[in-house]
Amino acid sequence: MRRLDELTAITENPNLWDKPDRAQEVMRERTRLETAINGYRALERNLSESLELIEMGDAEGDAVIVADTEKSLYGLRDHARRLQIESLLSGEADANDCFLEVNSGAGGTEAQDWAEMLLRMYLRWAEQHGYKTEWLEETGGEEAGLKSATVQIKGPNAYGWLKTEAGVHRLVRISPFDSQARRHTSFASVSVSPVIDDKIEIEVLDKDLRIDTYRASGAGGQHINKTDSAVRITHLPTGIVVQCQQERSQHKNRAKAFDMLRARMYERELKLREDAAAVIEATKSEIGWGYQIRSYVLQPYQLVKDLRTAVESGNSGAVLDGDIDRFLEAALAQRIKGQKEEANS
């Protein structure tokens, strides 16, 4: 509360917007704190009301009220767990927006369709949580789906929540593209990088870059241009490649691609700091067996299982429609626990 009061006082200063970057930083922090405090207050209020209802139901012998209210307490418990995890998102870039990139693995149309399904899952999750999204790059498949796509997800703790989604995702289903209705296994990889600000210094030398321009090749509409305005930047020492085709201006696409490159380089450095070089190498390796973090089985049964935390769901349709909170929370809790154990060792 003290910090929120300090930030509120700063926002009331008429000279705040003399420095727009600083003002935006203050407003973001204030909004983040205000949202968190309001969340805890609402939880406390709902818990108090639920306990009062249970007491009233007991006093009046109304078993229905008691049972219904007890069910609502389970929802409050889940919400409290999420708030607890969110309070622990204290990494240097956890509060930032993020770039999320999906790439199809080997397997042609089947894998490209899976990449599009996977991206849709994240877009639906973002929508359900009030995050804004912006398409930056899209390379469509020959027949259907996506070869690759990059979106920016904007909102409080976007990177903190999604950072554990990086890795390979495996799909098992009866292929809609197979005339013999055989079961296929497909792979797609996900990369998540934080949008970083000027406070975080990342050195990028011109001599280490290869910059190419090309014509946008998306599915059409707002994601395609008729000029060579799309930009691809390759960082030669690390092999990191980023591209942007959202804007009609080559200059704007170049600036956004450069931001994405800095984000990817920063994410790489974070992984190295956490002694997770193996994770980085996995994202560079073949998208296939041995590197997957989660398995999505649609036939002959339905099961989505995270191979790191063993959390699973039998409702694969809901998961692919954006219901992935249980997987995010478990993966984050596991990572936070590991960081605490490492710090105490």
Q: Has residue 92 been placed in a domain?
A: no
Q: Has residue 142 been placed in a domain?
A: yes
Q: Has residue 158 been placed in a domain?
A: yes
The domain total for the chain is: 2
Do 186 and 53 share a domain, yes or no? no
Q: Has residue 82 been placed in a domain?
A: yes
Do 25 and 134 share a domain, yes or no? no
Look up the CATH number of the domain holding residue 311: 3.30.70.1660
Residue 287 confidence (pLDDT):
61
Do 79 and 135 share a domain, yes or no? no
> Which residues are CB-neighbours of 32 under 8 A, at least 6 positions away?
95, 156, 157
Residue 345 confidence (pLDDT):
63
DSSP class of residue 141? -
Given 53, 87, 121, the domain boundary residue is 87
Q: Has residue 252 been placed in a domain?
A: yes
Do 195 and 257 share a domain, yes or no? yes
Given 63, 87, 111, the domain boundary residue is 87
Residue 101 near residue 127 (C-beta atoms within 8 A): no
Q: Has residue 335 been placed in a domain?
A: yes
Do 13 and 159 share a domain, yes or no? no
Do 310 and 183 share a domain, yes or no? yes
Residue 277 confidence (pLDDT):
39
Residue 280 confidence (pLDDT):
43
Residue 297 confidence (pLDDT):
96
Do 36 and 154 share a domain, yes or no? no
Residue 179 confidence (pLDDT):
74
DSSP class of residue 248? S
Given 87, 109, 136, the domain boundary residue is 87
Residue 329 near residue 81 (C-beta atoms within 8 A): yes
DSSP bridge pairs for 227? none
Look up the CATH number of the domain holding residue 46: 1.20.58.410
Residue 165 confidence (pLDDT):
96
* DSSP secondary structure of 81-92: HHHHHHHT--ST
Q: Has residue 213 been placed in a domain?
A: yes
Do 126 and 242 share a domain, yes or no? yes
Do 264 and 230 share a domain, yes or no? yes
In order along the chain (345 residues), what is the average pLDDT of each group of 10 residues?
Answer: 80 84 77 77 87 87 86 83 76 88 89 96 96 93 91 93 94 86 89 80 86 72 58 93 89 91 86 54 53 90 96 96 95 81 65
Do 57 and 120 share a domain, yes or no? no
Do 81 and 105 share a domain, yes or no? no
Do 57 and 194 share a domain, yes or no? no
How far is Cα 25 from Cα 104, in angstroms, rounded to an integer? 36
Tell me which residue range forms the domain holding 289. 98-344
Q: Has residue 93 been placed in a domain?
A: no
Residue 203 confidence (pLDDT):
79
